Structure 1
């Protein structure tokens, strides 16, 4: 077996990994700032200036802070927080339950409505998102996680790694952001061209455009390609535009440090989260805060060529029309010539929705874009634009839109009412959610249906990729051969997920099937191929393939290095080290996980197993005792301790 990590990761110097040079754009264009853009594009700038994009991240001032900093206070779980102002300084003083007091100054402000959050610099360069926020509608302070007890040593406490602004939030609230985390020093030196989502966050660095515009004023000349921008919306097309919006409006894992240059294909910059438990319901409805892209990819609207800008204004980010007027710009007897497959009929009428026109039930979005509340008060709508299917509730365990208003009725009532009003069978056709629910419950028993779903071109790539992910947990060798053609599917999400299924194939067959994807045109797929080749049983590779292997492994290495401040990354590195039988590196990785997040059960379990295998019972007990200090009463750890006692 080729020891690939010895080529790419010097595990003996594990913490030197982040020092690797980060990938950067070769484009020599520079950011100039939105104020420069406003000099010529004042109309667009005026629309943008009051938008949620412009106010995504701002400096604290009377104009930007809307909360009560006039000596107000908030008490939660024994912790008292006082908010005050001293001239231009906005202060947050925290008295912990044990009486410990700390004083902070607001560094910056996130958002404008329906809530506003405050960013605090806890160490030089390190920014953290404070979790007591301002409700801009009800004009009150509230805690984002009122039901959680989060002491200061908890990884989920606002000072912990999961609330770090540099690593978790800033790249979508800034323009030209670079995280610049130094793992050796455990410090951030983050930079950005502009706080807030400015013009160049979508169009790309503007220096080439400005140079052309300046010279063109005196000597008219043809504009450069894309008018000098990396993202030319005039020629990009709907798909590229959607992917540009998705760079922030998606639940995804970044593959580089900070903002990719606008115009970068989504799969070259991110790995999209699949329809996994905890994120999505089995039928693909939103569950956790997954934003928009994963939902939209499931929709018939996306399949028919609808894009973000059909409904949203590019510069205000507002909807183009209010209420049902937005939907009826296409869904009406007049239709829309851009989408000729639309049935030309009345939708915005009781004959379709069977509700009082003035009621909530008459609003298209309440049936076809259910709203779920995140961050306490922030309602987000599901962009899968689905038909309510209460008839599937028993099969999928998923919620359905009718229950949002008719909570006193059950699914059978709602299903009967829909069948009575819309008797056509097309509204109750088989749904992929039923198969995904089966796969979640029993991936082995459901493998035939999962394979059929994955191979169906009639379903969204995200759905098919999710079926493959479930199949990877239960496929037999014959099944890996059956779905091997999906390694050449036109959708990169499907190709990447199909690689995972091949982990259950004969090792030689897996290598033969996957090795070609090391030079896939999409980075996300190349990295997935590199992961699968980590323990490939190969003594030697042809030079061309070996070079592809090094390149893909290097991309994986850089993607991990860009997230080396995440506990999750060290869990991955620990698993990689175990695969390579590098026990010291694995132990170091899992130790870093529990340093960052002392409540990370899986990391403690791995440390316990390493101690049991390498150092004996006494060392194992010591690790468990250490773990139980952070997680007293944890059933998993108590069970491990009990098993040692029984032995």
Structure 2
């Protein structure tokens, strides 16, 4: 019997081999026409951005609306007028840390805990935002700018902790002085105009530049130089000719995409935004997953609106941000239900016969039923823009929220579902969440539901792409073969999601399907294709793809460079090197990720596994011990450490670790399987039998445990018991020749 070592499977890149030889493989040659439509990576000189006062000369009304808005005040230099917080010798204490805010002359300071765990004085250099909170930025060495975790509540007039229930120690990435609240990589791209992050990997330093400090007119409309030159030259004869972005002629979905670059949670691909191409040439949005969303797509963590809005019928009906929000002041265009009444007839919807609440009550407000929300950053209430009908039935199945019980806090989901049916009847429509949720939570029929959703183009692209992404949790040959068809999907989100999944498996058998993706019209998709093809050396690229391969390689290198200050970016580089077969470079990549987030145990677990693969057992063992020290309740570490000890033939120690794995993760069948084998290795068949039997109490039909139990019975000369278990295996898995042979062998032995 062999130990099944799933240590390697914990890596971000998993080696799984599939075949699609039954499919006809075709090359699609690269064309110069395709290459010519690739958006460039050219930088825009700062002097092409002329500033708001220049815009004001011709667009005074728009300027006046914009002035004082969230965009205008997105970032400001420090002054008595820009600072809203109380710096008059005020102390604020949270999570055991006392921050002291004070002035020295015309300068503003805070004394608080720094990155080494000691208290230091820090000068405030910029303000961030105005309502409902204002943050403050401190300059650190090497070009780093950091946002304080303590912010000023501009509505209640008090200091508060952005994360009051979350203890963060000074060495953590999430500490205000480290990566989690770093302005250069977390904030600058969306709070200023024409930002170039300019990160240097070797020195871990920044030389960040911008043209204008805030979200100016030109942050949305693009650099004004050409527009002003044409208007000045042509005078009264000037005719707009596409020299600006976000105009009255911009198509609805294009307009939403142009807003989206700063209103979504996303992966950055280009080094800087230059207004060329589309949003998907620069960023790829985070899809619906159970880290950021509830399984039905409702907001959980912050998604910054776009990921929710493109789920909605509103978006697909041509509604844009500016149908509800003034494009320049950002304020709502109408108060209360009048906002929704622009499209939804009040006599039908703004009436108790529809909402079943008293007029003018909170329950009668459209947004309270169809746009529930959450508080983020301590005091900022943000609404879910997926505009959904409450579904208490899905709440009962998947634990998702619904507006009914959020208002009626004394009631439960069962009550809400009965009331819903009483008032509206059973839903006569199928929302995509009915297919997405079972797949994301891992239901038995989840894969089929995800496949149905992914194929149905009537559903939103983000839902379909999320379904494709979720299919990655159900790896088998058929799943991978089904995924290949989505490489030709009309939606770039779906194509990108498909490549993300294929990038986690060994896709050598699919190379002829992947190569054409280097010609995709969207840079994000091309870069994902290049990563997925990482197992190929340049000399293996067919001649017809040489030119485009080299072009996309430059885009991929820029992608790695632009994300090198993130843990995820460093991991991506490491995993790419792993695809290339360069284990040493992969190890160095994971080690560099720990340099910027030393307590990230996801990174450390993968690094331990790489040390293990590299047969550097001492480092692997030390790394597992460090993980256990930091997270003593994490069962998988004990398991992986136990496998390492078994490899080193330190069986007694391995058994101890496997018992700890079961203690902290008693539901994991694999722990019982390997512990049973460890006892077998010591020839302690009684304990091996007991452990296998305990595991089978959790899953009586578990294939691996049944086989190991039959093996142990046979080895212990308990032939009848062995035959009984082997017979069950044959019954459960009639197509498995190994089990049939084992059963026949047992029946021929006296």
TM-score with structure 2 setting the length: 0.77
Instruction: Tell me the residue number matched to 1:12.
Output: none
Instruction: Tell me the residue number matched to 1:159.
Output: 177
Q: Which residue, out of 358, 369, 382, partners 1:380?
A: 382
* 1:48-92 residue CA offsets vs partner (Å, 9 max, x unmatched): 011111111111222221111111111122211100112321110
The number of residue pairs the alignment matches comes to 608
Instruction: Please give the residue correspondences for 1:195-214 in structure 2 after superposition, counting only pairs within 5 Å.
Output: 195-214=213-232
CA contact (8 A) 1:480 1:504 kept: no
Q: Which residue, out of 215, 226, 241, partners 1:225?
A: 241
Instruction: Please give the residue correspondences for 1:207-356 in structure 2 after superposition, counting only pairs within 5 Å.
Output: 207-217=225-235, 220-223=236-239, 225-226=241-242, 228-229=243-244, 231-258=245-272, 260-262=273-275, 264-332=277-345, 345-356=347-358
CA 1:474–1:72 in 2, change beyond 3 Å: closer, same or farther?
Answer: same
CA 1:262–1:539 in 2, change beyond 3 Å: closer, same or farther?
Answer: closer
CA 1:92–1:639 in 2, change beyond 3 Å: closer, same or farther?
Answer: farther
CA contact (8 A) 1:25 1:261 kept: yes
Q: Matched residues in 2 for 1:539 and 1:469: separation?
A: 31
* 1:89-137 residue CA offsets vs partner (Å, 9 max, x unmatched): 1110115799832000111011101111111112252101110011112
Instruction: Please give the residue correspondences for 1:93-172 in structure 2 after superposition, counting only pairs within 5 Å.
Output: 93-94=111-112, 100-172=118-190
Higher mean C-alpha deviation, range 414-423 or range 309-318: 414-423
Instruction: Tell me the residue number matched to 1:184.
Output: 202
Instruction: Tell me the residue number matched to 2:514.
Output: 514
Gaps of 5+ in 1: 1-21, 334-344
Cα RMSD, aligned residues only? 2.5
Q: Matched residues in 2 for 1:85 and 1:126: separation?
A: 23
Q: How many angstroms does 1:544 deviate by?
A: 2.1
Q: Matched residues in 1 for 2:115 and 2:198: separation?
A: 34
Instruction: Tell me the residue number matched to 1:80.
Output: 98
Gaps of 5+ in 2: 1-39, 655-750
Higher mean C-alpha deviation, range 522-531 or range 285-294: 522-531
Q: Matched residues in 1 for 2:301 and 2:117: separation?
A: 34
Instruction: Tell me the residue number matched to 2:21.
Output: none
Instruction: Please give the residue correspondences for 1:17-36 in structure 2 after superposition, counting only pairs within 5 Å.
Output: 23-25=41-43, 30-36=48-54
| 1:40 equivalent in alignment to 2:53 | no
Q: Matched residues in 2 for 1:268 and 1:96: separation?
A: 38
Q: Matched residues in 2 for 1:402 and 1:634: separation?
A: 36
- SS across alignment from 2:251: helix
Q: How many angstroms does 1:376 deviate by?
A: 0.8
Structure having the higher Rg: 2
Instruction: Tell me the residue number matched to 2:456.
Output: 456
CA 1:263–1:390 in 2, change beyond 3 Å: closer, same or farther?
Answer: farther
Instruction: Tell me the residue number matched to 1:431.
Output: 431
Q: Matched residues in 1 for 2:165 and 2:558: separation?
A: 37
CA contact (8 A) 1:476 1:504 kept: no
CA contact (8 A) 2:116 2:170 kept: no
Q: Which residue, out of 387, 392, 398, partners 1:390?
A: 392
Instruction: Tell me the residue number matched to 2:549.
Output: 549
Instruction: Tell me the residue number matched to 1:594.
Output: 594
- SS across alignment from 1:73: strand
CA 1:616–1:41 in 2, change beyond 3 Å: closer, same or farther?
Answer: closer
Q: Matched residues in 2 for 1:98 and 1:24: separation?
A: 40
| 1:367 equivalent in alignment to 2:369 | yes
CA 1:496–1:60 in 2, change beyond 3 Å: closer, same or farther?
Answer: same
CA contact (8 A) 1:243 1:266 kept: yes
* 1:162-193 residue CA offsets vs partner (Å, 9 max, x unmatched): 21100111111001111111122221111111
Q: Matched residues in 2 for 1:635 and 1:81: separation?
A: 38
CA contact (8 A) 1:117 1:134 kept: yes
